[in-house]
Structure 1
């Protein structure tokens, strides 16, 4: 089953305007996640404009049909964060119900979880 990483490409971290960046933090993170996810088993990515979590930018969700889904935030546009997100998503994809034991979480996602969403009823 495919696990989707949904990335908010409009996220801007505090002070973004002063950095002179030509693209948003979310767009930069999206690009890094897409590279890290290339070839990852059971993981696909998509971008959306605004997940309404601006206070916790940068935001992503990890989702799969019939599984528990997660919202995560406060990421930086770094390769380390992108790799950790993809590693977690691959574990989510491999799990039966979307639950990944804490001891298996990549260090880079710990402390970034915002909410957990139960699967929709059939």
Structure 2
């Protein structure tokens, strides 16, 4: 089953306006995550404008139908962080419930979890 990595492309870290301002931190991070996920069948990426986690830029959501879903934030836009997110998303995709044992978490995602959401009910 596919796990989606939803990446906020409007995230701006503190001091962003002092940089070159050609792209937001979120746009830079999204490009890195997309590159790390290229060619994977079980993990897909998408960009959204604002996950409302501005105090913890750069933000992503790890989501799969019928599974626990997670929001992570406070990343630096680096290849290590992007690779860690993709590795976690692959483990999420392989898990029937979306729960990944802590011992299997990539180091790059530890300390970045913000929320966990239960799956939506199948019936009303």
> Fold match, TM over 0.5?
yes
State the TM-score, normalized to the length of structure 2.
Answer: 0.97
CA–CA distance in structure 1, aligned partners of residues 4 and 21 of structure 2: 27
CA-CA distance at 1:41 after TM superposition? 3.7
Q: Please tell me whether the aligned partners of residues 12 and 58 of structure 1 are also in contact (alpha carbons under 8 angstroms).
A: yes
The answer for unaligned runs of 5 or more in structure 1 is none
Is 1:69 aligned to 2:69, yes or no?
yes
Q: Which stretches of structure 1, 4 residues or more, deviate above 4 A after TM superposition? A: none
Alpha-carbon shift at residue 19 of structure 1 (Å): 1.4
Please name the residue that 1:53 is paired with: 53
Give the deviation of 1:68 after TM superposition. Answer: 0.1
Distance between the aligned counterparts of 2:116 and 2:104, measured in 1? 17
* Alignment RMSD (CA, Å): 0.6
Structure 1 residues 18-51: Cα deviation after superposition (integer angstroms, max 9, x where no partner): 1123100000000000000012240000000001
Unmatched tracts of structure 2, length 5 or more: none
Contact map agreement 1:41 1:90 (CA 8 A) in 2: no
